[in-house]
Amino acid sequence: MLVVITDYQYDNIDAERRIIGEAGFELRDYQVKETKEMIPLVKEADAIVTQYSDVSREVIGQLEHCKMIIKYGIGVNNIDTKAATEKGIYVCNVPDYGVEEVSDHAVTMMLALGKKMQILEKAFREGDWGYSSTMPLYRLRDCTLGLVGFGRIPQLVAKKMAGFGLRILAYDPFVDEEKARAMGVRPVDLETILRESDFISVHVPLNEGTRHLIGRESFKKMKQTAFVVNTARGGVIDEKALVEALNAGEIAGAGVDVYEEEPVSPDNPLLHMDNVIATPHCAWYSETAITTLQRKVAEEVVNVLQGNEPFNCVNRGELNR
């Protein structure tokens, strides 16, 4: 059976070669992004591994006997899941490889924003001795954290932020309310999150139901002292509306690791605002996360090609209908 890697950004794929090779499967790797170039390379694949390449309906339509498409990562928005489902192809991901890293990143952003560290440092370097540049500043213990989503990552965020004594709310239509309350988290609706939170941290996948979940009207409902952090997917927040809200002073600041268009243009306004901490979609990164991701992708490929159900399949429900 043939496994094709369309693209990757790692130093090597030694782990994938070893795991897939030891199972008796052939592995071919490329760095291909264009549809016309990709189709002949993946046409006969039994499994496709992709990182950033667009595995579109056009590509999927040409697959002869593919059993699975797996993403190096969590979000599968570069894979046409509907088209894959129509052909009976599993769409898989690795949802747990970087949960510690992403939750750490979100917490770091909130702590830095809450203390206005980037504003304070800039003012200090420019000769301002004192704290006037950060006014007003509030005690963390007196603040409310609102989590949009309550899966693996936001649960870790809640656990880590609980040590600072914040009141923690969570909005998730699929939330296990008993589990949330056992963690000291109060399940609420999105309106309550927007209205009452001092920090809003976004942790939902990007799909038709969540695109621009946080938009222009959402920012108008927030406190003017609120900070918004997004380490999920750029399209969950209407980026234009976020910029407008920041410019209008409707919110106090933002921490952004993901964007509606990636890579980000150097003239994106979010990169030039003193009250924004912007990072280049790297919240997931640590050396441990990379090695874990590569290993788990290879293990999932072997698992499926050996005739087993995938460990993590985003379209399992649709395939079983």
Q: Which residues are catalytic?
A: 233, 262, 281
Letter for the amino acid at 156? L
Helix (H) or strand (E) holding 60: helix 57-61
Cα(98)–Cα(13) distance, integer angstroms: 18
**Would you state the structure tokens that stand for residue 34, as one six-digit string?**
């264009």
End-to-end distance of the chain based on CA atoms, in angstroms? Answer: 27
Bridge partner list, 277: 255
Question: 155: how many CB neighbours lie within 10 A of its CB?
Answer: 21
Of 231, 289, 272, which Cα lies nearest the Cα of 110? 231
Would strands 185-187 and 167-171 be described as parallel, antiparallel, or unpaired?
parallel
Please report which residue ranges of 183-286 form alpha helices under DSSP H.
190-196, 216-221, 239-248
Q: Which DSSP string do the residues of 142-191 spell out, in sequence order?
A: G-EEEEE--SHHHHHHHHHHGGGT-EEEEE-TT--HHHHHHTTEEE--HH
Chain position carrying tokens 């959402």: 218
Cβ proximity of 78 and 52 under 8 Å: yes
Question: In 3-state terms, what secondary structure has residue 286?
Answer: coil
Give percent helix, percent strand, percent coil of the chain, each to the nearest 5. Answer: 40, 15, 45
The count of C-alpha atoms lying within 13 angstroms of the C-alpha of 177, restricted to the half-sphere facing its C-beta, is 4
